[in-house]
Structure 1
Amino acid sequence: MSDTLGYYDANAEAFVDSTFDVSMDGIYRVFLADVTAGGHILDAGCGSGRDAMHFHRLGYRISAFDASQAITALAQQKTGLPIAHRSFLDVDERSVYDGVWACASLLHLPENQIPSVLGRLWMALKPGGTLYASFKFGESERESDGRHFTDANEERAALWFECIEKDLEIKFWRTQDQRPDRDEQWLNILVHKAPAVHERLTVGGSQHHFLPKLCHAIRSSNQVDMAVAFVKTTGLNLLLPDLLDVLQKEREPAPARVRILTSDYLDITDPEALRKLSLLQDHGAQVAVYESKGSSFHMKAYLFAGRRGGSHWGRAFIGSSNISRQALQDGLEWNYQVDYPPDTGYLEAVNRFDELFRHPKVVPLTDNWIDGYARRRVPPPQPVAPGSMEQEALPTPNAVQKAALKALDATREEGYTRGLVVLATGLGKTWLSAFDSKQLGARRILFVAHREEILYQAAETFVRIKPDSRVGFYMGKQRDRSVDILCASIQTLGKETHLERFAPQHFDYIVVDEFHHAAAPTYHRLLKHFAPQFLLGLTATPDRSDRSDILSLCDDNLVYECPLFDGVRGNFLVPFHYYGIYDETVEYQAIPWRNGKFDPELLANKLATMGRARHAFRVWSQHKQLRTMAFCVSRTHADYMARYFQKHDVRAVSDHGDSEMSRGEALELLDSGGLDVIFSVDLFNEGVDLPAIDTVLLLRPTESKVLFLQQIGRGLRKSQGKKRLVILDFVGNHQSFLHKPQALMGQAMNLRQLAEFARRAEQNRLDLPEGCFVNYDLEVIDFLKGLDQKGAEKDYQALKDTLGRRPSLTEYYHFGANITQTRKQHGSWFGLLNTMGDLAEKEEALLTAHEGFFVEVEKTSLTKSFKMILLEAFQAVNGWEKAADLPALAQESWRILKRRPRLFSEVAESVRHFDGGSTEWQQYWRKNPVDHWTNKSSVLFHVVEGRFEPAFTVESSSLATFESMVQELIDYRIASYEARQGSKTDIGNSNNVIPMLASDTALPYFPTLKIACGHFRNSTVDQLEDVEYRSIGSGHGRLNRDRHFIARASGDSMNGGKRPIHDGDYLLLEQISSESAGAISDTTLAIERLDEAGDTQYLLRTVRKSSGEYILEAANPEYDDIAVTPEFAEQFRTFARLNDVISPLEMARGQELLREDIPALFGTEFNPGNWQSGHVFLKEAGAHVLLVTLNKQGKAAQHRYVDHWVDETTFHWQSQASTTPAGKRGLELINHERLGLSVHLFVRENKLRNGKAAPFTYYGPVDYKSHEGSAPMSVLLSFR
């Protein structure tokens, strides 16, 4: 074989070109006639890949390999299929393939190897499968053109197959070679493997129960018929996953026909089970009920039919099992299996079922029938059949849901009619919505989502909580309106024509599941139409940048959150051990990336390789526990991984729509310990409860944080004996993976924050719940640390790459980007979008025409929220289309404010008790904000004849785009405004002052002199796109960002003398050149030096002149001075002059800092014992540090100090209860200037952010202004 392989490796291209287009249609038809439609075919020795590609295009699942490495590569390139490089001796699969195709490949084996290789292929073939092989017709074994050939005739081939199995029926036929200039004959061989011999009788019990056979039959069928005396919810839940799978619209070649017949005999059937069967009808099933009316109905028959190749098959189970858990799983139940062919008794059973389904006593299952049955039902007091008394336990809220329900009740008491709840995957957010609707007593409920599977899952959940309610759907072509619970797709119901069919008050309660940013305008339109008693928004991600759309929809009212870390800390979810594995075998940069997604086919090909499977298996073997769920990118990928693990003696299966094992079987085997790994594509992402899973293997990129959290959430649920979840996540060096650490940690991170996260992870300094562990491979750490670049454009691009689309301004704000700096560099948000090329054509034209208006909306000062509320109301009444009547506008503004109690509290007390239609409210609203918008120097609005109208026009064709742009700015302004106001507090001292930091100058910032020098060597500051800016205060003279910049010192060469410069100090420098430097003696310069060896140094030195030569003098005596002699002068290049050393405190103004990071600003170390209070005195620094949390909910009443902003430059601070004006601390605060002490103010809104300690914002040094009271003191502090 080595010579033959050498021939093909050397002549691969010529061979592929000569064979790829050869027609094999006639032989294809013979082979495929007996292969199950959509079945799994092994192309063994695939050559050019011609046949594999043909089968793939017909809808078959393909595995293909070739022993020639060169041909494997060419075949993969030509077909786009994942062709494996292996030989016949590597085939050790068992009963995997429906067909094996060995066209002109076995002929290169020596004859003595052919029987054993045929045996391997035979073992890989499933019972009932078909094997095809072909040889050149003849009797010789020979060498030709450097290749080995074994020819075959009928007698010779029959002897080979006799070594495998006696008395096989083998079909032989000869064909002529189809290639030009060839006159050879070929021997074609087709062999069928006998179907497996089945046990006909299933007797029940824990070792031989009926459920696996039933699930397998459902999954394999095109027709499913069931007739049972009764259906219990306990049993139906076991069958639903597989029934739903075969009813999927995407199923090939078509969804199955499902008919289910049950009865009201003895009133055993659960009404709840009937509601679920009614939901199954929404998927396409036919369900009917036999009305017994005193007669008996003891049916227990299950009939299935399908197609294999060109023939039909059927199977029936007749016996004693109704649909209950006991009958399907635990009880002793006899069910006899009848297979057709050969048993024609199956056909008799089918005919009888058809007759029964048309029986006069059989009626269709409808909501009306279920309502009547539930009213008249009197179930028997004693069991009359196995499972007849089974009842699903009534669902009750868990501890997290109880806390959320309490918070929802409280928020409604406060006057809110909208609210958002954040619950980690696994804590039951859909269940929460059902519980809350019941708590509220809602009669009509609307559940809105963007995916059908979410709606179906919601329907099942609500049926459990409200079993007497009618449930319907509004999606696709389905229009159920006369129901109690309507599950609607936003794509359908969000259209005006559909909304108009419902009155605004039709629904008492509306639930909005998390949705994609692009759908936000549609949700706004839907909620503009409806006026429910309460709207509940749900999301699983705690990341503010991800939830900004749905939070805006909920009036920015975050009612309750329990993200992942809180779920673990509260013992509601198990701890996790996360391993970020570097995906070393995949070059993701080479795979096309468009609209936030990889090219799916190319990605699947890159992931389904031997090297990557080997790497995954090695990692899994090292860290695995007992039960693993693995997520793959495609069906081909899942099949490939399952085969690889099987070959290494792991009990693994792939599970998807075409897989052999049903989902019900796979779940049961994994739960019972009969399986080690399930490789899934997406079946287990939604609504599947798998608490026993203790290992999650992520073998694919995930497109969103939500999907990532859903996948790991499959294993976070608690289960008996489970101590932790192990997460094995394969991470590539590509922007598509940047959302994973953000999702895991529950916070948005820009590029520099991701780099800082990596450094913390490397140093094992991450803030994790007890029992949790996070580890990244060093390659991943290096990739993340390499992201440490700053600037508006870099932050924007990072967020865009994470989201897979252009972000909204609110998302950008929540991402932690510097909005002020963005405006300084680009003028406005839409200016940044224009720079980045992310404005659509209409948006760009609107920006050009109305830039002044957009900038005014984005930047106008807000002392109250009213200006934005007015604009939102103006949009709500379609004011851009037709001038808004002032009374209507004021009333709509009142309605919006009433939904937001925090903002409504800004209304003057004298008019709060008037409604929106009152004269008093109209006059109040006219003064502000109407007058504000109409009295500006650049007039934007007019009031004409009692109507509020814009002073400019917008083309009607661009109106929708214009409104969307304005709404984007409104959402941001309200979100940022409310964030600055802080959360509600019990003491009610919330006010509306926004603290104003002193006016600063923003300058380019570089981490080192080396980086700064590299930037300035060929560019000026204003030409650079990736420069970060840092702000410094006044007192440094006139600064120009084209010349001045900030860099950090490296090393201690200048650590000495009167002005020591320490390693890491912030330096204010001025860019100079040899022409602009002027006199340089006795000045400190930044210098680049290229020495004789070609090494580059970056120095900070004071320049002295002595005897006509310059001396570069170090302040630290441990460093030698450098004489710049004429012969070495060309080694030195001066590029900047030192202006000042900037205090770390000055650099920290406006920055967020964790408590443990604050001491370093004062040159001291963090000591937890000293820094837990809100007032810390640092003796060596002579500084009082005030650490203030505005919202102190959760503290004892005596520790809730009254801290708030008085105005933009004044802060009211209340001391600790023991502080008095005559005491040491009180005197030092009052007299701090005279005593030479400083006072520094650090403020945060809340104690926690995303479940962990929130950072403080540093507002700078403050001065004592006045005080009142004693123990505690109320002190007014003013900014300097």
Structure 2
Amino acid sequence: MRNKMELVQGNLIVNSDSGNLLRELVKAMSECERFYFSVAFINFSGLQLLLDPLKEAERKGIKGKIITSTYLNFTDAKALKKIREFNNVELKVFVTDKELGFHTKAYIFENKDNYKIIIGSSNITQSALKSNIEWNVGIITKENGRFIQDVLKEFDYLWSRSDEADHDFIVRYEDFLKSLKNTQTTHLLIYENKQKYIIPNRMQRQATENLERLRSFGEKKALVIAATGTGKTYMSAFDVKQVKPKRLLFIVHREEILKKAKETFELLLPNEDITIGLLTGNYKQKNVDYVFTTIQTISKCFHEFDKGEFDYLIIDEAHHAASPTYQAVLNYFEPHFTLGMTATPERSDGYNVFDLFDNNVALEVRLHEALEDELVIPFHYFGITDIEGIDLSDVDIDDIAEITKRLKVNERVDFIIEKMNFYGHDGEKRKGLGFCASIEHAQYMASEFNKRGYESVCLHSANSPEIREQYINRLEDDHDQLEFIFSVDIFNEGIDIPSINTVLMLRPTNSPIVFIQQLGRGLRKHAEKNFLTVLDFIGNHNKAFLIALALNGSRYYDKESLKVAMKTGFASIPGCTHIQMDKIAQERILAQIDKENFNSMKYLKEEYFEFKKLNQGRIPYLLMDYVKFDGAPDPVKFIDREKTYLQFVSKVEKNDYINELLQNEAFKGTLKELSSKLPLKRVYEFVIIQYLLNNDEINLEIAKQQILKVVNHVEEDSILHAFECLNQDYYDNVQIKNKPKLVELSNGKLIKTFLLNELLDNEEYRKYIEDVVHYGIFRYEKEFKKEYYGVPHFKLYEQYQMVDAALLSNYRKTHSSFRGSGLLTNGNDYFLFIDLHKEDDIKESINYQDKFIDEHYFQWQTPNSTSQKTDRGKNIIYNNRRGIKLHLFVRKYRKIDGKNEPFIYIGTGDTVHYEGEKPITVKIKLKKPIPSNLFTELTKKV
């Protein structure tokens, strides 16, 4: 009984959206007076995440003792060396043998009046601290209690039995690990020669399923967009294995990747009775079943094949397919199916790569999705406040000469090297890329690093491909002394250096797109690498907040969600990826976010022109231009500002060509009508319009067939409702008067109006009408996937406006009536639209009646007129019994920066308690608990 009384507090610590062991350790270290760790394993991936807390403890004079072990030889010698650099930490190693294992995972913190002890399953590795399924129990106990005395006694016993981790010990251990690694390599080589059994990852499965769906509806082309290193070649081989074409042509842009692609197919198709060969300058295997060739070779000899020779055509690096060389080949062959694959759809030389593949995107995997699916390695990002001597506050971010001049400071080089050495890197040899402001800056950095003993080179666009390849090979070579390549932008895209383990961001970030491209250079999986170290030196320039946009990973953001993400260390980022900013950098960025109005014309223009610059200076005339880039602005914001995207471009560009187009009121009105639907919450209407772009009429049966190309299932009543919506059945009188009629409903068919036909006959008008339709469908597929959401058609945690509920529940009265009230109904569906803060002032007036009780329960107050005795009152308080579905939509604030905020759908719930009259206060249990990160975002005050 006495022992139970000693435990003042206990809690379970797991790695989840709402927290992880790392966060608990960092907090405990910041509060303690001493600490004692006993963990079986410490590797550098985990230790790097604790370096700053250890440094802070050293600064404050807080001492610690750490015991780890040689059990299973898993502890890194490199991690031991790093711990020894801290003057405040004593380190010992428990040496194990075959008979005796060492499994402890205990973290003890001595506080002023008590002890905090965390005991459980986690070692000091990145996955144990952040993402693994781990159970750890945190206990706070009095300092004189029996439990803590037993723990400390056991720690002292292990300490006495452990060896001091001095220099000699670590050298011996390091040599032993190297000898062990050499022995294992031999075994690995033998194993590699055996037949592998490879199964598709989630991305590959999803892509092949979507490709099969598209083919089943008669589509003959498709595009797959996925980051470098995510397994696109394997995916194509899995699809080919499924389709079993008699003859296949695989075209690549560069010969060096051709043999790898061929080997992948040979590995996955070993028993298919297929011959596979190369068609290049050196190999002429034209008569094999599956021909792997370069565009340079096939473009010279494609006429030697029949047009229908190949059933299946694969274009790797499909962003090149718009070039005349590719077009000559692609226009000649008539395969049953053509697959394009690219990591960089933006590199299409002014052409729209989506059009080349009939706007069929089978899959798009961007950075955050690749991290979530573990298709790339995690990164550890450290945002470091630049030295005081660097002042960029009064410099235009495009004034490269001035920025270069201010960054060329010896003291800054020393600071960069100091931080680089402090945080370290994964693996033995440092292999780094440094991104600079200009060629002059890159040359300066390479020169200064060389002076300080870090062998470096500068590479830029003037260097030949041969020179680039030479230095890349040197950097990748473990035995070469080259440690760094400094560049400006040649590594933003397309260059693959798999073993890169360090990225230095040495210039002000002026674009989330460029930031993501540079970050992505180091994320490819590699046998010698578990994580990428990213050091970002954040100055006081006025666009530092763009870093937060890039790291947040969402194109669709608002000021408050960004601030919460910053405050919580971007908790929603998946896996072992770690984002940490020092206090000054964080406060600086938060202040900038607070000050910035993301909806102002000034901000939107800056976003647009920065994007235009990355579009090689060309005006991005199409909405589809924006989906080419990971990290691009959301063009719907431009539409919201000026009713259509072209009107926004017209306003900021003063462009005669666009102004002339917009003189046609019918064309402008049609663009407005279509653009007002974006972003789509239901795809049916746009799929129907897409069909009508090339056909005069559509019936329900054909509409269903077309819709099923995009989604798994659709209700026939919902298709009919879409027909009625397109026929303007649910518009009010003002809408009918002001909106063009594009289709007519007659005898169960939708028929194109003369107006739409006339517009589509004009090539220029057609291009922009098609663009809005394609963009709407593409974005819907990206955000909603193929899923069927039922009726009402709501996706959990998606954003909605009130009027959307009318459309998505097949409401058959005027839809504009769905506004102005917190409770709207359609039959047995009750829609609760709730503001958590009642006033426009986002700092004040929390709504204490309508609030989250926790992740499972929500308290809501009915409209003032609702009585328990009325039908409506009974439907709310006895909803489950009466078959009433309560749909909850919440938003934190009504307006941010003068713009109405959307609501977030948090699902259905049942009333479990009620009290009061006019209004009734009800407690609703959510069918699905709200995710912790969203709960934090909606409830946390910043």
TM-score normalised to the size of structure 2? 0.52
Say whether residues 1:900 and 2:704 are aligned partners: no
The 5 Å alignment of 1:920-935 reads none
Partner of 2:353: 523
The 5 Å alignment of 1:629-708 reads 629-633=432-436, 637-654=441-458, 657=463, 662-663=470-471, 666-667=474-475, 669=477, 671-672=478-479, 674-680=481-487, 693-700=500-507, 705=512, 708=515
Q: 2:434–2:486: 8 Å Cα contact kept in structure 1?
A: yes
Q: How big is the shift at 1:647?
A: 1.5
SS in 2 for 1:1162: coil
Partner of 1:264: none
SS in 2 for 1:905: coil
The letter for the 2-side match of 1:964 is K
The 5 Å alignment of 1:247-326 reads none
- Structure with the larger strand share: 1
Say whether residues 1:727 and 2:548 are aligned partners: no
The 5 Å alignment of 1:1094-1133 reads none
1:778 paired residue among 570, 573, 584:
584
Say whether residues 1:859 and 2:676 are aligned partners: yes
The letter for the 1-side match of 2:690 is E
The letter for the 2-side match of 1:761 is M
Q: How big is the shift at 1:747?
A: 1.9
Say whether residues 1:848 and 2:663 are aligned partners: yes
**Deviations 1:510-556 (Å, cap 9, x if unpaired)?**
4354312987963343233x9xxx864444334xxxxxxxxxxxxxx
CA–CA separation in structure 2 for the residues paired with 1:858 and 1:660: 45
Change in CA separation of 1:717 and 1:412 when aligned onto 2, cut-off 3 Å: closer
Q: 1:476–1:492: 8 Å Cα contact kept in structure 2?
A: no
Change in CA separation of 1:676 and 1:926 when aligned onto 2, cut-off 3 Å: closer
Partner of 1:803: 611
Change in CA separation of 1:648 and 1:942 when aligned onto 2, cut-off 3 Å: closer
Change in CA separation of 1:1212 and 1:627 when aligned onto 2, cut-off 3 Å: closer
Q: How big is the shift at 1:965?
A: 2.4
CA–CA separation in structure 2 for the residues paired with 1:737 and 1:939: 44
Partner of 1:501: 332
Q: How big is the shift at 1:696?
A: 1.8
Q: 1:541–1:743: 8 Å Cα contact kept in structure 2?
A: no
CA–CA separation in structure 1 for the residues paired with 2:361 and 2:197: 20
1:576 paired residue among 380, 384, 401:
380
**Deviations 1:601-660 (Å, cap 9, x if unpaired)?**
777666556465444334434434450412344665444323212212234344574769
The letter for the 2-side match of 1:1171 is D
TM-score normalised to the size of structure 1? 0.40
SS in 1 for 2:658: helix
For structure 2, which runs of at least 5 residues remain unmatched after alignment? 1-181, 183-188, 267-275, 277-289, 614-618, 806-817, 823-833, 867-882, 890-901
Say whether residues 1:403 and 2:213 are aligned partners: no
Change in CA separation of 1:472 and 1:581 when aligned onto 2, cut-off 3 Å: farther
**Deviations 1:670-718 (Å, cap 9, x if unpaired)?**
x237444343566766677756543222234678656544543444456
Change in CA separation of 1:833 and 1:392 when aligned onto 2, cut-off 3 Å: same
SS in 2 for 1:726: strand
Change in CA separation of 1:522 and 1:699 when aligned onto 2, cut-off 3 Å: same
The letter for the 2-side match of 1:897 is I
CA–CA separation in structure 2 for the residues paired with 1:1212 and 1:860: 22
> Number of matched residues?
628
Q: 1:445–1:509: 8 Å Cα contact kept in structure 2?
A: no
The letter for the 1-side match of 2:592 is G
SS in 2 for 1:472: strand
**Deviations 1:399-456 (Å, cap 9, x if unpaired)?**
8x5222333344456668688877565444454344444444356668899xx5xx65
- Structure with the larger helix share: 2
Partner of 1:871: 689
Q: 1:642–1:653: 8 Å Cα contact kept in structure 2?
A: yes
Say whether residues 1:969 and 2:800 are aligned partners: no
The letter for the 1-side match of 2:714 is S
Change in CA separation of 1:637 and 1:791 when aligned onto 2, cut-off 3 Å: closer
SS in 2 for 1:432: helix
Q: 2:508–2:541: 8 Å Cα contact kept in structure 1?
A: no
CA–CA separation in structure 1 for the residues paired with 2:408 and 2:195: 42
The 5 Å alignment of 1:223-262 reads none
CA–CA separation in structure 2 for the residues paired with 1:515 and 1:925: 32
Q: How big is the shift at 1:738?
A: 5.3
Say whether residues 1:623 and 2:423 are aligned partners: yes
The 5 Å alignment of 1:61-80 reads none
Q: 2:384–2:535: 8 Å Cα contact kept in structure 1?
A: yes
Say whether residues 1:748 and 2:555 are aligned partners: yes
Partner of 1:326: none
Change in CA separation of 1:462 and 1:493 when aligned onto 2, cut-off 3 Å: farther
CA–CA separation in structure 2 for the residues paired with 1:932 and 1:495: 47
Asked which structure has the greater RCO (Cα within 8 Å, sep 6+), the reply is: 2
**Deviations 1:71-123 (Å, cap 9, x if unpaired)?**
xxxxxxxxxxxxxxxxxxxxxxxxxxxxxxxxxxxxxxxxxxxxxxxxxxxxx
Change in CA separation of 1:624 and 1:499 when aligned onto 2, cut-off 3 Å: same
2:367 paired residue among 519, 530, 541:
541
Q: How big is the shift at 1:727?
A: 1.0
Change in CA separation of 1:499 and 1:694 when aligned onto 2, cut-off 3 Å: closer
Partner of 2:566: 761
Q: 1:579–1:774: 8 Å Cα contact kept in structure 2?
A: yes
Partner of 1:1172: 855
CA–CA separation in structure 1 for the residues paired with 2:588 and 2:229: 32
Q: 2:909–2:927: 8 Å Cα contact kept in structure 1?
A: no
Q: How big is the shift at 1:465?
A: 1.5
The letter for the 2-side match of 1:803 is F
CA–CA separation in structure 2 for the residues paired with 1:660 and 1:405: 32
Q: 2:599–2:637: 8 Å Cα contact kept in structure 1?
A: no
SS in 2 for 1:514: coil
Q: How big is the shift at 1:666?
A: 1.5
Structure of larger gyration radius: 1
CA–CA separation in structure 2 for the residues paired with 1:457 and 1:591: 42
Partner of 2:873: none
Q: 1:473–1:480: 8 Å Cα contact kept in structure 2?
A: no
CA–CA separation in structure 1 for the residues paired with 2:800 and 2:736: 24
Change in CA separation of 1:689 and 1:894 when aligned onto 2, cut-off 3 Å: same
2:848 paired residue among 1162, 1176, 1179:
1162
Fraction of identical pairs, as percent: 17
Q: 2:501–2:533: 8 Å Cα contact kept in structure 1?
A: yes
The 5 Å alignment of 1:1186-1197 reads none
Partner of 1:997: 802
Change in CA separation of 1:815 and 1:1239 when aligned onto 2, cut-off 3 Å: farther
The letter for the 2-side match of 1:616 is I
Q: 2:838–2:846: 8 Å Cα contact kept in structure 1?
A: no
For the aligned residue pairs, the C-alpha RMSD in angstroms reads 6.2
Q: 2:552–2:562: 8 Å Cα contact kept in structure 1?
A: no
CA–CA separation in structure 2 for the residues paired with 1:1243 and 1:402: 31
1:471 paired residue among 279, 292, 296:
292
The letter for the 1-side match of 2:423 is H
CA–CA separation in structure 2 for the residues paired with 1:980 and 1:936: 30
Q: 1:459–1:471: 8 Å Cα contact kept in structure 2?
A: yes
1:1146 paired residue among 810, 813, 838:
838
SS in 1 for 2:337: coil
The letter for the 2-side match of 1:462 is A
Partner of 2:235: 432
The letter for the 2-side match of 1:869 is V
**Deviations 1:1085-1119 (Å, cap 9, x if unpaired)?**
xxxxxxxxxxxxxxxxxxxxxxxxxxxxxxxxxxx
**Deviations 1:1171-1205 (Å, cap 9, x if unpaired)?**
232x34599x99x9xxxxxxxxxxxxxxxx99797
